[in-house]
């Protein structure tokens, strides 16, 4: 068995590394565009290096897949991997906003076993364990049970006309935190319609699922992890009672955008 307390201590320490350079506390931060309009900062790389070392020592048998590390094909040879986004929501981090988190999941045979989000700027520590439930700051989570799609709370700054019957709520830049809001019954629906990476969603998908949310790709299909191509088209997290309606509403847009 993995030392759960040690794992949580490692992730909290990673969160402190990020917080100690966060512009929201007045720190100067080196950042740049790594291509494709994708920002990265010195903090992303520092957290990534720390987690790779510490998680590798905690569980040497596990492989590694992270946004800020060059992918190594040998990760496909084992059953276990660490799935890491050192700072999910880098745009908010760089701008001094609170909508970012350190995201860590332990994946076995394509399914997350453990998931942790540390959002120290928000004072939030989220965790989930397969078959055991999920928590925020020690309080057990119970996901949204909304039964009707119209009026559903969606983390968004603005909504397209086709979704004007939905209700926007606060939107962190971190997709992981948006997914976690459904787990905490502070949102009813989160959907993306673009190609995304496993490290963006692995930990939050487990936290949401263990709280009772429905979690799929944009087409309503199950998510899998540690694939050769570590991408999926979109993610859809919602109250299980509106999930089918959300899939149906988004189906045409998803097919068009997925190409």
Give the whole-angstrom CA distance, residue 127 versus residue 129. Answer: 7
User: b/e string for 87-108 if b means 16 or more Cβ within 10 A?
Assistant: bbbbebbbeebbbbbbbbbbbb
The model's confidence at residue 72, banded by pLDDT at 50, 70 and 90, is: confident
Average per-residue pLDDT in the chain? 95
The model's confidence at residue 257, banded by pLDDT at 50, 70 and 90, is: very high
Long-range contacts (CB closer than 8 Å, 24 or more residues apart) made by 5-12:
6/58, 7/55, 7/58, 7/104, 7/106, 7/114, 7/116, 8/116, 8/125, 8/127, 10/51, 10/54, 10/55, 10/58, 11/51, 11/102, 11/104, 11/116, 11/118, 12/118, 12/120, 12/125
3-class secondary-structure state, position 89: coil
C-alpha distances out from residue 168 to 161, 190, 247, Å: 13, 11, 18
3-class secondary-structure state, position 63: strand
The model's confidence at residue 245, banded by pLDDT at 50, 70 and 90, is: very high
C-alpha distances out from residue 259 to 15, 139, 195, 253, Å: 37, 41, 10, 10
The answer to whether the beta carbons of residues 116 and 203 sit under 8 Å apart is yes
Q: What is the model's pLDDT at position 79?
A: 84
pTM recorded for the entire structure: 0.96
Residue 35 confidence (pLDDT) above 90 = no
Average pLDDT over residues 57-83: 89
Percent of the chain predicted with pLDDT > 90: 91
Span 122-150, pLDDT tens digits: 999 999 999 999 999 999 999 999 999 99
The answer to whether the beta carbons of residues 54 and 11 sit under 8 Å apart is no
């Amino acid at each position: 068995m993995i030392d759960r307390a040690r794992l949580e201590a490692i992730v909290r320490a990673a969160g402190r590394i990020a917080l100690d350079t966060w512009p929201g506390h007045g720190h100067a931060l080196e950042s740049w565009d790594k291509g494709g309009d994708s920002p990265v900062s010195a903090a992303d790389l520092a957290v990534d290096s720390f987690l790779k070392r510490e998680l590798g020592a905690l569980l040497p048998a596990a492989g590694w897949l992270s946004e800020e590390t060059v992918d190594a094909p040998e990760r496909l040879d084992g059953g276990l991997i660490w799935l890491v986004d050192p700072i999910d929501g880098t745009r908010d981090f760089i701008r001094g906003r609170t909508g970012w988190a350190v995201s860590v999941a332990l994946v076995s045979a394509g399914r997350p076993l453990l998931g942790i989000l540390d959002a120290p700027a928000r004072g939030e520590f989220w965790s989930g364990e397969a078959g055991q439930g999920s928590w925020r700051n020690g309080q057990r989570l119970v996901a949204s049970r909304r039964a009707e799609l119209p009026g559903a709370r969606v983390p968004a700054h603005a909504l397209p006309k086709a979704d004007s019957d939905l209700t926007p709520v606060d939107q962190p830049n971190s997709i992981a935190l948006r997914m976690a809001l459904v787990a905490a019954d502070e949102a009813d629906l989160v959907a993306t319609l673009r190609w995304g990476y496993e490290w963006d969603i692995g930990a939050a998908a487990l936290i949401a699922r263990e709280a009772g949310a429905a979690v799929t790709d944009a087409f309503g299909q199950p998510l899998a992890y540690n694939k050769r191509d570590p991408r999926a088209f979109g993610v859809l997290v919602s109250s299980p009672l509106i999930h089918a309606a959300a899939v149906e509403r988004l189906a045409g847009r998803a097919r068009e955008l997925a190409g």
